[in-house]
Structure 1
Amino acid sequence: MQVSATEAATKLNELIEAAINGEEVILLKGDRPAIKFTPIESAKPRPKFGSAKGLVWMSDDFDEPLAEMKEYME
């Protein structure tokens, strides 16, 4: 779809929706193409702080030496 700048000013919402829905929208300046509307690819949402709360745990003896390493610790 190609539209003039003056027509685009009155139909901007429609043109944005058309571009979001995959239609190529080109604005003309005079009789030459000047601007092309394309949707921005949405970025993956960032993880939220604390979203894994309760999913990770540490045993009480985490800091204790391993039995297999006792001979190296003497």
Structure 2
Amino acid sequence: MQVNMHEAKSQLSKLGEKAWEGEAVVIAKAGKPYLDLVPHRERGVVRKPGRLKGQIVVSEDFDQPLVEIISAFEGDV
């Protein structure tokens, strides 16, 4: 469903219900699609950086290249 801006202003509640029920509601400006009216959805859990600090261990040789992998890419195998 597409409505113009003026109609959307006067029928916002009705349009909001339609969007909540799953209908695609597009608000047009000068006859061209301008806005999509979509229902609000709660965001997931807020991430907290560092919450796993001290629980993950990275080995000392983590950044060392694996000779087997380099050889495979270079065609030495």
TM-score normalised by structure 2 residue count: 0.53
State the one-letter code of the partner of 2:24. E
| 1:12 shift after superposition | 0.6
CA RMSD between the two structures: 1.8
Residue in 2 aligned with 1:42? 42
State the one-letter code of the partner of 1:3. V
Q: Could you list the runs of 5+ residues in structure 2 that have no partner in the other structure?
A: 46-77
Which has the greater radius of gyration? Answer: 1
- What CA deviation, in whole Å up to 9, does each residue of 1:22-70 have, x standing for no partner? 111000001100000111223469xxxxxxxxxxxxxxxxxxxxxxxxx
Residue in 2 aligned with 1:53? none
State the one-letter code of the partner of 2:2. Q
Residue in 1 aligned with 2:13? 13
TM-score normalised by structure 1 residue count: 0.55
Q: Which runs of 4+ in 1 moved over 2 A?
A: 42-45
Q: Could you list the runs of 5+ residues in structure 1 that have no partner in the other structure?
A: 46-74
| 1:9 shift after superposition | 1.0
